[in-house]
Structure 1
Amino acid sequence: MLEFRGVGRTYPGPPPVTALRPADLSVRRGDFVTVSGPSGSGKSTFLNIAGLLDTPTEGTCLLDGIDVGGLADADRTAVRGRRIGFVFQSFHLLPHRTAQENVELGMVYAGVPGRERAERASAALRDVGLGHRRAALPGRLSGGERQRVAIARALAVRPALLLCDEPTGNLDSATAETVLTLLDELNDQGMTLVMITHDQTVAARGSRRVTIRDGVLNESAPTAAR
């Protein structure tokens, strides 16, 4: 599904900064890949390239066999909107919009028609256990509920790949476990996940573990099944 072939990223200087050294990685359908490393190691650069938010300065990035690094910006944006869902640490919910409206807004850039947006949003909220909270504003939701709304927003576009950037970073341990259990369930249902985390306990949830240090990507031996 997602393949890095010698993908690297160097930002211009002076002096130039190599954030990600040439790396190979193949993410297959149904994988749950966790990516960990210290601050400044290259995790964000990796995520930005995987999520088509940035392009490599060397190598080839393929999504479903398409060289997305070679696409025009508008085409890359369209592919990202249709094929990739994002879940962030800080939720990024609009405070004056209900849970339902926040989920619907996530589909606007994917070009989903209005009536279908409402239907998909309702279904996605039910899938994450928040069908009864559709009309609630974010300020009336707990941290775990807000993160589940954010996950519903990502799922509503029916992505092939779900990218999670420190999705439990702002949550207490009990709430984080609830969110991680939901991600486990999504993966068990066939969703392909790539999750960035600094927490080694969270990293161990993945079926595959990748580490990045000083821009160098390495994959650990497969972990035991959950």
Structure 2
Amino acid sequence: MTVPVISLERVALTYPGPPAVTALLPCDLTVHEGDFVTVVGPSGSGKSTFLNIVGLLDSPTEGRYLLGGTDTGRLGDAARSALRGRRIGFVFQAFHLLPHRTAAENVQLALVYQRVPRRERTARAREVLARVGLGHRTDALPTTLSGGERQRVAIARALVGSPSVLLCDEPTGNLDSATSEQVLGLLEELNADGVTIVVITHDPAVAARGTRTLSIRDGVLAEPQPQGVPA
């Protein structure tokens, strides 16, 4: 049996006080390669805390988080940063593209810290832009791209390092409904190609696009049981 991409074992996070605030209550979660997991919840529910833990931006105060079988709690800061860079691709609501860099140059930046040679960076950036349907826009500046195209560049940047999981935080939050549908369709295509995806959202319609949907409210992460399956 393959090692899970993500494994949370009674993971929780409490921010120190006074008074101490528990943002995420102890939870268990297993995400396998090829899963498309969506996590839905209102503002203040604990989604950001969950995102920060899974993205190795925060460390849990309880439990154990294994990323691809690596116990992240045993790593120092430098090793955690290196693991995050290799194994996690981030896509955010705001595109975070450098306006004076071309689409290809923005994508290449994700490989600079991995010390990938320049020629290889260029080839991989163009390849992944073609994969997200922007092979014809590699030399375009973000200011000349539509919102949907900019998000595709951001997705390409997240994919170029061949991460274990694509972690998307409200990826359609800045897009209109038609463009949102295009981006969600792209995520579904990538998942069909084997990319493991976790999407954080407040929108039930976006959450419904996943193959597994979790809910989070008041710091409680839960996976609803399918109808007819006893809890």
Q: After the TM superposition, list the runs of 4 or more consecutive aligned residues in structure 1 that deviate by more than 3 angstroms.
A: none
Answer yes or no: is the 8 Å Cα contact 1:11–1:18 preserved in 2: yes
Answer yes or no: is the 8 Å Cα contact 1:34–1:196 preserved in 2: yes
What SS class does the counterpart of residue 106 from structure 1 fall into? helix
Equivalent residue for 2:27, pick from 23, 27, 30: 23
Q: Return the offset for 1:160.
A: 1.0
Q: Does residue 49 in structure 1 map to residue 36 in structure 2?
A: no
Alignment correspondent of 1:216: 220
Distance 2:166 2:145 in 1: 23
Q: Return the offset for 1:111.
A: 2.8
Equivalent residue for 1:81, pick from 77, 85, 90: 85
Q: Return the offset for 1:222.
A: 5.4
RMSD: 1.1
Answer yes or no: is the 8 Å Cα contact 1:208–1:221 preserved in 2: no
CA distance change for structure 1 residues 37 and 162 in 2, over 3 Å: closer, same or farther?
A: same
Code of the residue aligned with 1:170 in structure 2: it is N
Q: How many residues align?
A: 223
Alignment correspondent of 1:150: 154
Question: Once the two structures are superposed, what CA deviation does each residue of 1:20-71 show, in whole Å capped at 9, x if it has no partner?
Answer: 0010000011100000101011101101111111110000000111111221
Distance 2:210 2:204 in 1: 11
Equivalent residue for 2:134, pick from 130, 134, 139: 130
Question: Once the two structures are superposed, what CA deviation does each residue of 1:115-168 show, in whole Å capped at 9, x if it has no partner?
Answer: 211111000110011111111111100000000000000110111110000000
Code of the residue aligned with 1:141 in structure 2: it is L
Equivalent residue for 1:94, pick from 88, 93, 98: 98
Q: Return the offset for 1:107.
A: 1.4
Q: Return the offset for 1:221.
A: 3.3
Equivalent residue for 2:181, pick from 177, 184, 187: 177
Equivalent residue for 2:17, pick from 13, 16, 19: 13
TM-score, length-scaled by structure 1: 0.96
Q: Between the two proteins, what is the percent identity of the paired residues? A: 69
Distance 2:175 2:154 in 1: 14
Equivalent residue for 2:167, pick from 151, 160, 163: 163
Answer yes or no: is the 8 Å Cα contact 1:34–1:203 preserved in 2: yes
Distance 1:56 1:70 in 2: 12
Q: Which runs of 5+ in 2 are unaligned?
A: none
Code of the residue aligned with 1:18 in structure 2: it is T
Code of the residue aligned with 1:85 in structure 2: it is G
